[in-house]
Amino acid sequence: MKITRQLLFFSFVFLLFTCKEQKQEPLVINGKDKVYDTEIEDKVNQLLSRMTLEEKIGQMNQYNGFWDLTGPEPKAGAAAKKYEHLRKGYVGSMLNVRGVSEVRKVQKIAVEDSRLGIPLIIGFDVIHGYKTLSPIPLAESASWDLEAIKKSAQMAAEEASAAGINWTFAPMVDISRDARWGRVMEGAGEDTFLGSKIAEARVRGFQGDDLSQFNSIAACAKHLAAYGFAESGRDYNTADIGTSTLHNVVLPPFKAAKDAGVRTVMNSFNELNGIPATADEYLQRDILKGKWNFDGFIVSDWGSITEMIAHGYAKDGSHAAELAVKAGSDMDMESYLYVEELAQLVKEGKVKESLIDDSVRRILRVKYELGLFDDPYKYCNETREKEVIGSEKIHAASLDMAKKSIVLLKNEKNLLPLKKKGQKIALIGALASDKTSPLGSWRIAADDSTAVSVLEGLHQYEGNTITYAKGADVSIGKSQFATEVKINTDDKTGFNEAIQAAKSADVVVMVLGEHGFQSGEGRSRTELGLPGVQQELLEAIHKVNKNIVLVLNNGRPLTISWADENIPAIVEAWQLGTESGHAIAQVLYGDYNPSGKLPMTFPRNVGQVPLYYNYKSTGRPILPAPDVVFWSHYQDQVNSPLYPFGHGLSYTTFKYEDIAVQNNYNTTGKVEVTVTLTNTGKLKGKEVVQLYIRDLYASITRPVKELKGFELVELNPGESKNITFTLTKDELGFFNNQGEFLLEPGDFKIFIGGSSYTTLESEFKIEP
C-alpha cells in the first residue's frame, strides 16, 4: 500500500515535470512564428547533461583572436592560456579571427581536440560590409530605403560568411541625439521609428530567412542600453535618462530587432541609474528575456564585466562575474572572468548552476540554429571565399547603396547637376583623392586605399577638364587600432595651388569634412566644424570663385553655418564605402537623382547639441511678445537647426497637397490619412514622404512631432500620386513610466511632407 502511494506520488511528480518540459513557447524567427524547435531543444538538453561545470562555463567565454595562427603555438603568457582553454573546451566563441584558413584552424582545435567537440561561434564587427564596404550605417539610414538597407546587410553577410564568420556584432541600434558622440556613424540616427524599421531590415538582411544557410550569419542588436546617450557626447560616459526616454526612445529599436528574430544582443559599457548595463537585471532579465521572451543570448561588450570594478560597482573580478551572470549577461567578451571565477562562485553557492545552464542553453541553441553542429566547417569553403569576396555582385550592391545614401542639402541656381562637357573643374581637398577615408570607421577586413576616390570617379566622365589640388590636409586622428597618425592641421602651403586652380575654373568641387577615422568608437569631438584648416581653405577659395559645390565627407552631422550661407550647392556624401567616388560622380553629374534625407539634425553650432526634431515642448516654447527674455531660448543663437531631420533635396521638385484624414480613431482601430504628391520639376525623382503626429496632451507629455510613417515614392515629371498612410494603436500609443503601453483618447495633429519641418497639417481624434 505504502509502495503504491509512493509510486503514485512519483508518477505525479514525473508527469508534472514532463508537462513542464514539453510546454512549447512560440518562437519568432525572422518575424515568422514557428513552433519551438523541439529537436534543437532536445539536442541542447542532451548535450548540456553531458557537460562538466567547467565545460559549460567555457561556452560562456569569448576570446579575441589570440596568436598568429600561422606561427608556432605560444608557450607562455595569456595567449598560451587561451590556447589551452580552447583545447579543453573552455572557449565558446572567438572574435576577430577571419579568413577561411584561420577560422578552420581554431574551429579544428575546438572540434577535434576538446572532449565534447563543441564548435565555436565566430564573431566579427561586420558593421557595413566585410571587405567590400557599403556606406557607414548612418549614411545608409539617410536612404530611408529599407529594401536597400536589408540588401546591404545581406551582402555583408554573404561576404563575411565566405570568410568563415558566422556572427556579426551589428546592427548597432542605439538612438543618439548628440553629434559629438563618434559612434553616431554606426547607428541609424536620432529617430526611434526610423531606427526601429532599420533595425528590423538589418537583422533580416544579416540573418536571412533561414539561419542555417551557409550565407546567413547571426546578428547582434547592441548596445543594451542607452549607450547613445553618453553624457556630453563623450564615448563610454555615463548615461542619465529618464524612464520615459528609456521606454519610448531607447528600447523600441531593440524590441524591433527582437521581433525580427535577432539571435544575440550585446550590453553596453555605460551605467544607467547607477547600474552598469552589464549588471542590469531590469534591462536584461526583466525586459529582454522576460517581458519580450528573447531566447537568444546576451554577450557583454569588450571587457565590460571587468570594467564594473572601475565603475565602482564590483569589488573585484569575482564579484563582477557574479553580478554579470546574475543580471543575465550570458557570454563574457574578453574579461576572462567567467572562465576564471564562475566555477568557484557556483561551488560556493553564490551563483546557482541553473543560471549557468540557462546561459549555455541559449548559446548552444544559436549554434544549433546556425547548423554548426551539422558541419562546423560550413563557413570554411576556400572556393566560395575566392568567388564571393569582392565579387561584382557585392560591388554593384555597394554602389547602389552609396548613391541612395547621398543627401542634397542645398542647390542654388541649379549649380548641380554639373554640365558634362566643356567645363573646367577645379577639384580641391585632400579627401577628394583619398582612397582610404571613404571606407569609414569599422573597416577591419578592408585594405587601405581600396575605395574609389572622388577624383577617380570624376575621371570616368571625359567631357570636362579636371585640375586637382589638395589645398590642405585633413587631420586624420587615430587609426582603427589607435596608432597615432601624423596630424597636420595647420599647414597652408597648399592653399596657393588650390586658389590658382579655382581662379581659372568654371566650377569648383571641394571635398571637405572628416577623415574616416575621425568618427567611430572612442572618437568623440567637442567641435563639429570642418577639422583643421579646411574652413579657411573654403573661405579662401570662395574669395576667388563663388561657383562652389561642397561635397561633405563625414561620419556625423557637422556645423557648417558659414557654408550654408555662402556656398550655393552642398552635397552630404558621408563615408560611402568602396564605391564612394563612383556614387558621388554619378550624383554630381545627374546620372543619379539624389533622394536621401537626413537621419540626424544638423545643428548651427555645438552649443545647440543635443538638438533633435522630436523634442518636448516646454512651458515657455515661444516668444510671447517682442523683447521678452523669459522664454526657452538662447541669447546668441536661434533654437532651430541648420538642417532639420528628414531634410534632403532632389534635382526635381515635389509638391504636397490635399492632406485629408479619412476618419478618427475609434472602434475601427485605425486612422487613414491621404496626401497627394506631384513631381513639379523636369526630372524623374524619388521622394521620401514623411508623416508625423503630435499628441496634443497626454498623461506623459509627448514630443512636438514624431515620425510615424514614411514611403519612398518615385514619380515622373508632372506625375501625381495619392499616398495613404494607416495609423494603428502601435503608432498612436506610448509607454508610461512603468513601461506599460497606453493608448489614450485625445486630440492629435498630423503633418505630412518632405522633412520634419513640414507645415502641411491636419488633425484627428482618438475617440473615447
Question: Closest CB to ligand NOJ among 228 and 513?
Answer: 228
Question: Closest CB to ligand NOJ among 62 and 464?
Answer: 62
Q: Which residues contact 578 (CB under 8 A, 6 or more apart)?
A: 129, 132, 133, 134, 395, 398, 438, 439, 446, 450, 451, 452
Distance CA 742, CA 699 (A): 9
Q: How many CA atoms lie within 13 A of 682 on its CB side?
A: 3
Minimum Å distance from CB 389 to ligand NOJ?
Answer: 21
Q: Which residues contact 543 (CB under 8 A, 6 or more apart)?
A: none
Minimum Å distance from CB 440 to ligand NOJ?
Answer: 15
Minimum Å distance from CB 524 to ligand NOJ?
Answer: 13
Number of residues that bind ligand NOJ (CB under 6 A): 6
| Contact call for residue 271 and ligand NOJ (CB under 6 A) | no
Contact 614, 704 (CB under 8 A): yes
Minimum Å distance from CB 182 to ligand NOJ?
Answer: 11
| CA 163 to chain CA centroid, nearest Å | 22
Distance CA 167, CA 266 (A): 12
Ordered alpha helix ranges (H), 371-415: 382-388, 392-405
Residue 301 annotated in active site: yes
Distance CA 208, CA 205 (A): 5
Minimum Å distance from CB 96 to ligand NOJ?
Answer: 7
Minimum Å distance from CB 84 to ligand NOJ?
Answer: 23
Distance CA 512, CA 570 (A): 11
Question: Closest CB to ligand NOJ among 222 and 367?
Answer: 222
Taking residues 103 to 142 in sequence order and writing x for each that binds ligand NOJ by CB under 6 A, - otherwise, the string is ----------------------x-----------------
Question: Closest CB to ligand NOJ among 55 and 125?
Answer: 125
Distance CA 194, CA 756 (A): 13
Contact 305, 322 (CB under 8 A): no
Minimum Å distance from CB 766 to ligand NOJ?
Answer: 39
Q: Which of 63, 90, 229, 302 binds ligand NOJ (CB under 6 A)?
A: 302
Interaxial angle between packed helices 192-207 and 146-162, expressed in degrees from 0 to 180 and rounded to the nearest 10: 40
Q: Which residues contact 414 (CB under 8 A, 6 or more apart)?
A: none
Minimum Å distance from CB 62 to ligand NOJ?
Answer: 10
Surface-to-core class of residue 624, CB atoms within 10 Å of its CB (0-12 exposed, 13-18 middle, 19+ buried): exposed
Question: Closest CB to ligand NOJ among 267 and 398?
Answer: 267
Provide φ and ψ at 607, rounded to 5°.
-60, -20
Interaxial angle between packed helices 317-327 and 337-347, expressed in degrees from 0 to 180 and rounded to the nearest 10: 80
Considering only residues 179 to 238 of the shown chain, the ones binding ligand NOJ according to CB under 6 A are 222
Question: Closest CB to ligand NOJ among 171 and 205?
Answer: 171
Question: Closest CB to ligand NOJ among 236 and 377?
Answer: 236
Question: Closest CB to ligand NOJ among 27 and 94?
Answer: 94
Reference 177, options 601, 560, 573; nearest CA is 601
Distance CA 174, CA 411 (A): 32
- C-alpha triplet 275, 281, 287: angle, nearest 5°: 120
Q: Which of 521, 579, 687, 695 binds ligand NOJ (CB under 6 A)?
A: 521
Minimum Å distance from CB 302 to ligand NOJ?
Answer: 4
Q: Compute the CA torsion angle 128, 130, 132, 135 (nearest 10 deg).
A: 10
Question: Closest CB to ligand NOJ among 133 and 588?
Answer: 133
288 DSSP 8-state letter: I
Contact 760, 658 (CB under 8 A): no
Distance CA 413, CA 118 (A): 65
| Contact call for residue 158 and ligand NOJ (CB under 6 A) | no
Q: Which residue has the CB atom at the shortest distance from ligand NOJ?
A: 169
Distance CA 257, CA 153 (A): 14
Distance CA 426, CA 99 (A): 42
Minimum Å distance from CB 125 to ligand NOJ?
Answer: 5
Peptide bond just before 72 cis, omega within 30 deg? no
Minimum Å distance from CB 118 to ligand NOJ?
Answer: 22
Question: Closest CB to ligand NOJ among 230 and 389?
Answer: 230
Minimum Å distance from CB 127 to ligand NOJ?
Answer: 8
Peptide bond just before 225 cis, omega within 30 deg? yes
As a three-state string, the secondary structure of 104-122 is HHHHHHHHHHCCCCCCCEE
Q: Which of 301, 385, 400, 572 binds ligand NOJ (CB under 6 A)?
A: 301
Question: Closest CB to ligand NOJ among 391 and 480?
Answer: 480
Q: Which of 83, 167, 169, 254 binds ligand NOJ (CB under 6 A)?
A: 169
Reference 165, options 434, 8, 344, 372; nearest CA is 372
Minimum Å distance from CB 444 to ligand NOJ?
Answer: 9
Strand ranges in 577-696 using DSSP code E only, listed in sequence order: 654-661, 671-679, 685-695
- Residue of 301, 332, 400, 695 marked active site: 301
Question: Closest CB to ligand NOJ among 140 and 301?
Answer: 301
Taking residues 69 to 108 in sequence order and writing x for each that binds ligand NOJ by CB under 6 A, - otherwise, the string is ----------------------------------------
Q: CA of 125: how far to CAs of 32, 184, 690, 696, in Å?
A: 26, 16, 32, 42
Neighbours of 242 (CB within 10 A): 12
Question: Closest CB to ligand NOJ among 111 and 224?
Answer: 224
Strand ranges in 532-638 using DSSP code E only, listed in sequence order: 548-553, 569-572
Q: Which residues contact 369 (CB under 8 A, 6 or more apart)?
A: 29, 37, 40, 211, 212, 218, 263
Cell numbers placing 513: 569634412
Distance CA 661, CA 678 (A): 19
Active-site amino acid positions = 301
Binding site residues, ligand NOJ, CB under 6 A: 125, 169, 222, 301-302, 521
